[in-house]
Chain A
Amino acid sequence: MNFAVLQFPASNCDQDAVHAIRQLGHSARLVWHKESALGDTDCVIVPGGFSYGDYLRCGAIARFSPVMQAVKQFADNGGLVIGICNGFQVLTEAGLLPGALIRNRDLQFHCEFIHLKTVTNDSPFTNRIPTGKILRVPIAHGEGCYFADEPTLAKLKANNQILWQYCDTSGNVTDAANPNGALLNIAGICNERRNVAGLMPHPERACESILGSDDGKWIFESIFAALEAKSVAQAA
C-alpha cells in the first residue's frame, strides 16, 4: 500500500510517520505542501507538528495550501485520510472533520503517554484493534481540547463517529484520565462517511516496543486491512 505523508513548513512528525509505515511493511513517501497532486496514493497521513508555525490558529493556514485541495478531492472520492495531532487540527480547519481543537484546559503542553479506549471497530481506522484493548500511546500537544457545539456532539454520538476516548488504564472514561479537557474525553473522531479520521495522540510514535509501546500499530494495521479489503473488492 502507498501512503502519502504531507509535509508542511514546521511539520515535525512526518519522518516518524514514514518510518512507522515502512517498518510495518508498506511504502510511504513525503508530499510537499506546494504539490497540487498526490500521485499514486492509497492513504494520506496529515502528520503532527506546527504547520506554518501555528500562526493565527493551529492548522488555519495549512488548510489553504495547494496540497490540501488535492487531499480534499481525494477524500471526496472516498480515499482514506488520517490526521495526527496537528494533522487533526488541519482537518478540522479544512472542514473535513467537525469541531475544533482549542487550548488545553490547564494551559500546559502535555507530552506523556495516555490510554485510549476504542469506541467502535466500525471504521477503517479501528477495525483491527482487538476488542477491549486499551491502547497506550503518547500525546504531545498544547491545543488538543476537542470542542464542538451540542448538535455536533449529538450527531457524532448518533453516527458512531467517536473513535477514541481518553481513559484510565482499565478503560474507564473519567475526567482524571482526560489530559486536555476534551468534551466527552474525545481523542479521535471520523467523518460521517468514515473515510477521514483525526486524533490528537501519536500512534506513529508507538509502533515499536523499543519506543515504550507498540500499541499504535493497531491503528495502522486497521488501515492496511481496510485498504486490502478495498483492493480485493475492486479486483473482484
Chain B
Amino acid sequence: MPKFIVGGKVEKNVGFSQEFTSLAMLPMIFGGGDLLRRNQTGQTSPHKKSSLRYGTFATMLPNFRGVNRPGYPGKFRMKAKIIITPKKAVLDPQGKTVQSALEQMGYRGVTGVHIGKYIEIDLAPGTDKVAAEKAINDAAYKLLSNPVIEDYRLEIAE
C-alpha cells in the first residue's frame, strides 16, 4: 500500500485525501482564533517546505507540529482527526476520474477511489477526551460534514 502525503503528513489507508482543510480558518472568519495563531506559528517553521517534500522524515524534525514548541515544552498536543467521505449513493466524479487515471497508468486491481476531506483540530493539552469527542461529533454533524452527502469518521489522538 503506497503512502500518500496529506498536508505535510503521511497518511496511510485513507485512500486519496485531496483537500487538507485546516479548521484554523473558522476562527479567522468568525473572529477568535487562538488556535489559529498557534497553528500559524507552526506553519512558519523553516522545516515546512522540507517536511512536505520528504513527508516521512517530517515527524523526526524538531519543532514540528507542536513538538518542543515554545509554550508546549516536550508535549504532543491532543488532536481530533476527522475523515469525511462521500456517501456511497453520491456521484463522486473526482474519484472516478482518478480511478481511470490510475488504470491508464497501469495500476491493476483498483476497484474504487473515493475522494474526501481530512480535517485536523488541535485541542488544548489536558482536554477531556470524552467531552471533546462528544463536542466534535456534534460539530462534524452540523458543520464539518453534510450528512446529506457525506459520512465521517472521528478519532481523538493524544
Instruction: Report B21-43 CB contacts with A as 1/0, cut-off 8 Å.
Output: 10001100100000000000000
Question: Residues on A close to B: CB < 8 A?
Answer: 52, 55-57, 60-61, 64, 92-93, 99-100, 102-107, 145, 147-149, 181
A60 to B21, CA, bound (A): 13
Q: Given A55-B21, A60-B143, decide whether A147 and B93 contact each other with a Cβ distance below 8 A.
A: no
Question: CB-CB < 8 A to B146: which residues of A?
Answer: 57, 60, 93, 100
Question: CB-CB < 8 A to A57: which residues of B?
Answer: 146
List the 10 closest pairs (A to B, CB-CB), nearest first: A100-B148, A100-B149, A105-B93, A107-B93, A103-B93, A100-B146, A55-B25, A147-B90, A57-B146, A102-B149
Contacts A55-B25, A60-B146, A148-B148 aside, 18 further interface pairs with beta carbons under 8 A come to: A55-B21, A55-B29, A56-B21, A56-B144, A57-B146, A100-B146, A102-B86, A103-B91, A103-B93, A103-B94, A105-B93, A107-B94, A107-B97, A145-B91, A147-B90, A147-B148, A147-B149, A181-B91
Q: Which residues, 79 to 134 on B, are CB-close (under 8 Å) to A?
A: 86, 89-91, 93-94, 97
Q: How far is the CB of B153 from chain A (nearest CB, A)?
A: 17
Question: CB-CB < 8 A to A145: which residues of B?
Answer: 91
Question: CB-CB < 8 A to B97: which residues of A?
Answer: 107
A147 adjacent to B143 (CB under 8 Å): no
A181 to B93, CA, bound (A): 10
B28 (CB) vs chain A CBs: closest residue: A55
Q: How far is the CB of B88 from chain A (nearest CB, A)?
A: 11
A64 adjacent to B143 (CB under 8 Å): yes
A92 to B146, CA, bound (A): 10
Q: How far is the CB of A208 from chain B (nearest CB, A)?
A: 35
A107 to B93, CA, bound (A): 7
Q: How far is the CB of A68 from chain B (nearest CB, A)?
A: 13
A107 (CB) vs chain B CBs: closest residue: B93
A232 to B26, CA, bound (A): 45
Question: CB-CB < 8 A to B144: which residues of A?
Answer: 56
Which of A52, A99, A103 has the most chain B CB within a 10 Å cutoff?
A103
A61 (CB) vs chain B CBs: closest residue: B29
A102 to B92, CA, bound (A): 9
B89 adjacent to A149 (CB under 8 Å): yes
A100 to B26, CA, bound (A): 22
Question: CB-CB < 8 A to A61: which residues of B?
Answer: 26, 29, 143
Question: CB-CB < 8 A to A149: which residues of B?
Answer: 89, 148
Q: How far is the CB of B136 from chain A (nearest CB, A)?
A: 15
B119 (CB) vs chain A CBs: closest residue: A56
Question: CB-CB < 8 A to A60: which residues of B?
Answer: 143, 146
B21 adjacent to A105 (CB under 8 Å): no
14 A-B contacts (beta carbon < 8 Å): A55-B29, A93-B146, A99-B148, A100-B146, A102-B86, A102-B91, A103-B93, A103-B94, A105-B91, A105-B93, A107-B93, A147-B91, A149-B89, A181-B93
Q: How far is the CB of A168 from chain B (nearest CB, A)?
A: 22
Q: How far is the CB of B100 from chain A (nearest CB, A)?
A: 12
Question: CB-CB < 8 A to A147: which residues of B?
Answer: 90-91, 148-149
Q: How far is the CB of A200 from chain B (nearest CB, A)?
A: 16
Question: CB-CB < 8 A to A52: which residues of B?
Answer: 29
